[in-house]
Amino acid sequence: MPIYEYRCRECRERFEVTAHLAERDKLAVCPKCHGKKVELVISSFTCAAPRKY
Ligand SMILES: [Zn+2]
């Protein structure tokens, strides 16, 4: 399953959620303050290795 990284807008806690796309928003709850005001962090640089063409 894909891992999504979230950041809480209340306490700025960063956490990861492993879920399918359909269950993603349902499981995206801050583990620290249990807030649901979270935003998805797009980690597009995870596998951004330099590529030569
Ligand atoms: Zn929080």
pLDDT band at 48 (very low <50, low <70, confident <90, very high): low
**Mean confidence (pLDDT) of the chain:** 86
If you measure from the C-alpha of residue 43 to the centroid of ligand 1, how many angstroms do you get, rounded to a whole number?
A: 19
Say if pTM beats, i.e. exceeds, 0.85.
no
Is 9 a domain residue? yes
If you measure from the C-alpha of residue 25 to the centroid of ligand 1, how many angstroms do you get, rounded to a whole number?
A: 15
Instruction: Count the domains in the chain.
Output: 1
Q: Which domain does 18 fall in, by range?
A: 3-41
**What pLDDT does 49 receive?**
58
Is 11 a domain residue? yes
DSSP annotation of 6 reads E
Give the integer Cα–Cα distance in Å for 22 and 29: 15
Rounded percentage of the chain residues whose pLDDT exceeds 90: 58
Structure tokens at 36: 């649901």
If you measure from the C-alpha of residue 27 to the centroid of ligand 1, how many angstroms do you get, rounded to a whole number?
A: 14
Is 14 a domain residue? yes
**What pLDDT does 21 receive?**
86
DSSP annotation of 10 reads T
